[in-house]
Amino acid sequence: MLQKAIEQYILDQANHPLKLDEFIKSKRRFIASIMDLSENYKDLWSARFAKIVRKHNLTVAKSQVDWGVLTTAFFEHLSKNQSATPSEASSTKNTTTTNNTTPKLKEGDYKKFDAITGTVVEDKVKELAMKLSNEHPSHSMILDTSDPVWLEYFTKSELKEIEDEKKVTLSELPKSMQTYLDCYNGLPPPNS
């Protein structure tokens, strides 16, 4: 099925330069339906495409692939198939086997953080992550409150509330440890 999809694309493009980025863009929904994010999908799909192109004695025109298109398509596919968890969606449609023992979070496994204003923080992080095509910490559910992009999603008071939530305060060093560390003040740096 994979080989046929790639071959069909190549045959359809017979009078045009073959470009991996154009293939990825045009077949992103198909690829997303069978891909597994735990694999190195960039190398995998580059190799699959190159193999079929070589088989037909053709060449590939150089192009810059926006892999974010594929990642976005994968998450769109998951959201359309919400009855399946991410691991189920990729394992039921993927022909390769993986030995991934990482537990997957399901809806309800954790409590989302609601700001005082009622804004659900995780939903806003997801909203930004789905909007961006370039890599950003929000794709890993990381929210750096000093990043100005968040001002489009949260008020300053909400960002302050997020920053203060479960804030870890560092205790002072014991006096003996501080005295020991102070002994190094004024020494030249190593290798100087």
Identify the domain containing residue 31 by its residue range. 1-109
Residues 130 and 62 in one domain: no
pLDDT in tens, 123-159: 889 999 999 888 999 888 888 999 999 999 998 998 9
Whether residue 177 is contained in a domain is answered as: no
Q: Is the pLDDT of residue 170 over 80?
A: yes
DSSP count for the chain of H helices, then E strands: 9, 0
Where helices occur in 81-120 by DSSP H, the ranges are 86-93
Q: Looking at 109, 142, 175, which one is the last position of a domain?
A: 109
Residue 113 CA to residue 121 CA, distance in Å, equals 6
Q: How many folded domains does the chain comprise?
A: 2
Query: Is the Cα torsion angle 153, 155, 158, 160 positive or negative in sign?
Result: positive
Residues 117 and 150 in one domain: yes
